[in-house]
Structure 1
């Protein structure tokens, strides 16, 4: 009945993923390749979690 009040974990993860990619892009532009690599790796982990949640829903 109140399904619209439930939090959506994929929405939160997608927001985190896009934020990490944005931060990685900014680090790359500044020439900080180490931080870029770390942020990109973390973004990939978040993306894998999103994919895992999508698979488990179906």
Structure 2
């Protein structure tokens, strides 16, 4: 009945994913490759989780 009030986990993950990618881009622009690589790694894990949830 109140399913419209429940938050969408995919939407939340996509928002966090976009934030992580933006942070990685800023790190790369600043020349911090170590931080860039760790942020991209985390974002790839998030993207695979998003894909898994969308396919269910």
Stretches (4+) displaced over 6 A: none
In 1: Cα distance, 2:48 partner to 2:34 partner: 21
Q: Structure 1, unaligned stretches of length 5 or more? A: none
Paired residues in the alignment total: 56
Query: How large is the Cα RMSD of the aligned pairs?
Result: 0.5
Partner of 2:38: 38
Report how far residue 54 of structure 1 moved: 0.7
Report the counterpart of residue 55 of structure 2 in structure 1: 55
Structure 1 residue 5 and structure 2 residue 19: aligned? no
TM-score scaled to structure 1, two decimals?
Answer: 0.93
SS of aligned partner of 1:7:
coil
Task: Please list every run of 5 or more consecutive structure 2 residues that lacks an aligned counterpart in the other structure.
Answer: none
